[in-house]
Amino acid sequence: MAAFVAIDFETADPGWDSACSVALVRVEDGRVAATAQRLIRPPRSKFAFTHIHGLRWQDVEAEPTFGAVWTDLRPMLEGVDFLAAHNAPFDKRVLETCCKAAGLEPPGLDYRCTVRIARAAWRLFPTRLPDVCRYLDIPLRHHDALSDAQACARIVVEAEQAMRPATLPPPLARAKTPRSGVATGGI
């Protein structure tokens, strides 16, 4: 089995640079090897998505910025084969935009999307994260970054067990991230 990190972001507003929470779950040999969750002070104090994830400016105003958080978390990616996320184009774009804003190099890893994986492995529709978790009996506190990343990690592991890893959907094409400057939210 591949070593990978499942990642999930929550954003404060429609800007791709507005990460306010991130979680990583590192998986090695099909088992969780490490987890991390951090709050992030986004570049703007106005929160548009509190109704989704429950986070407010008051929760993050004393937290470090993305650059400091990512410098601390990036070692979790060492030696992994890919990043996984549910609706991976969203998390990929948030990570790339936040890295660019912080003057950091984004990771040069492939991304695997658990929406695509769930459709290929179990022919599931709809494939929103709560739907896939319900099908696989995975506990979920949707829009809690750590819970979402843990669920994503379990989806990849269960799919690798259900299918030959070589038959999992290919990684996202590197040029397939949305081009607009507005985050449209995760699934």
Tokens of 125: 């529709």
CATH code: domain of residue 33: 3.30.420.10
Q: What is the pLDDT of residue 15?
A: 98
User: What's at 64, amino acid-wise?
Assistant: P
Vertex 99 angle, CA 69 and 87, to 5°: 95
pTM over 0.85: yes
- Give domain status of residue 129, yes or no: yes
Give the pLDDT mean for 109-118: 96
- Give domain status of residue 50, yes or no: yes
- pLDDT tens-digit series, residues 35-68: 999 999 999 999 999 999 999 999 999 999 999 9
Give the pLDDT mean for 145-169: 90
Beta-ladder partners of 110? 82
* Cis omega (within 30 of 0) for bond into 126: yes
- Range of the structural domain that residue 66 is part of: 4-166
Q: How many domains does the chain divide into?
A: 1
- Give domain status of residue 178, yes or no: no
- Give domain status of residue 35, yes or no: yes
Please determine, for residue 121, whether its predicted confidence score (pLDDT) is greater than 90. Answer: yes
Q: What is the pLDDT of residue 176?
A: 43
SS3 content of the chain, % helix, strand, coil (to 5): 40, 20, 40
Q: What is the pLDDT of residue 169?
A: 83
- Give domain status of residue 24, yes or no: yes
Burial class (CB in 10 A: 0-12, 13-18, 19+), 55: buried
Give the long-range contacts of residues 141-147, CB within 8 A, separation 24 or more: 143/10, 143/52, 143/53, 143/54, 143/186, 144/53, 145/8, 145/9, 145/10, 145/21, 145/22, 145/23, 145/37, 145/53, 146/8, 146/23, 146/25, 146/35, 146/37, 147/23
Please determine, for residue 146, whether its predicted confidence score (pLDDT) is greater than 60. Answer: yes
